[in-house]
Structure 1
């Protein structure tokens, strides 16, 4: 009998002034990792990567609101990892300094993304796929790891809530469509890592989310 494949490494923890959930995803065999939404505290993120024995190869973003990128430039500088974003959020990325000023958050310069994410694109860890789920922003992405039954939803879906649509580029009919036609078609046993706050269960959201349910 063949040995079972080791489980995907996943660690999520809040970072930065707005307590954005940063997630480390690591391949247990190659020890390659991606970091999703490094919203601050780059030294903490680097320490966790080191403790897990992982090497980050790419830094990917669910969207380009300030609280999801604040440590991206420092992470790239320290690790050489590439930055990834959906192109439809470029206008927000180009206005990162303005966003910080509006919210009174110190701005740390961040270079332009190295690569644009696309729908159904395989992620660098070799274990997941990017899903374009617009609505919170035009370029909002979610990341699906089928073998682990794990969904990184960013600010698209929360526990019994959904992402705001009253900010730059937000649109309720669009986020509703993204949730119903992309996220709610995934395995209902999946764990959902949200952009802020606690994890949730996808099936529970399908049945009980007061904003978008089936």
Structure 2
């Protein structure tokens, strides 16, 4: 099978990494963490010749889903989020106000995602992993055949997600990384929620927050 189409780029207002993943055969695609600038995201989808069939969120902090409503309206693709983050989704306006960001209404998620739920678009298959800690419903999206993980704000290059915001739990995030993410193949590329990409093997050896 041809390599997955992948385009990751930074979107406002807080520099979230938004990813478009597509199947080269069917041109079906998903958008992960559309934090803002729906126009640019939709233009990139069009440029790649893709059809969006799902909009997935690693967690429900405002900087990861401000463009969700507009993209859903344009594509009719369902929104997916773990049910443990529904309470955070409901306080989008509060989150925006705390960070001085204009409020953008988002519709309720269409689908509550589950741990180890299969993800598929066209011939591409992956799995959603529940990795609580940054938020109660934080998820990572793993595509083993492509050696790819979208970690959201759970794991960063040389760091981990904040646990001082709504629903954060420092013990839970460390357990999620050690037990779920560090069990993956060390050659797995990690697209983080913010900042540079990394690899599981590098983080196993060098991440000062979770490495032995």
User: Could you tell me the TM-score, scaled by structure 1's length?
Assistant: 0.97
Q: Find 2:12's aligned residue among 16, 39, 44.
A: 16
**Any gaps of 5 or more consecutive residues in structure 1?**
none
Aligned residues: 210
User: Aligned pair 1:101/2:97, yes or no?
Assistant: yes
Quote how far apart the aligned CAs of 1:124 are.
3.2
Contact persistence 1:12–1:22 (CA under 8 A): yes
Q: Which one of the candidate residues 145, 151, 156 is aligned to 2:143?
A: 145
Contact 1:134 / 1:175 at 8 angstroms: preserved in 2? yes
Aligned structure 1 segments of 4 or more residues deviating by more than 2 angstroms:
none
Pairwise mapping of residues 71-110 of structure 1 onto structure 2 (< 5 A)?
71-110=67-106
Match of residue 181 from structure 1: 179
Choose the corresponding residue for 1:57, options 50, 53, 57.
53
Whole-angstrom CA distance in 1 between matches of 2:82 and 2:160:
20
Residue 47 of structure 1 is matched in structure 2 by 43
- The CA deviation at 1:87 is 0.3
Q: CA RMSD in A?
A: 0.8
- 2:63 matched to which residue of 1? 67
Q: Could you say which residue in structure 1 is the equivalent of 2:31?
A: 35
- Equivalent residue of 1:127, what SS? strand
Answering whether residue 131 of structure 2 is matched by residue 133 of structure 1, we say yes
Deviations 1:86-131, CA, capped at 9 Å, x for gaps: 0000110000011111111111110000000101111131421100
Unaligned runs of 5+ residues in structure 2 are none
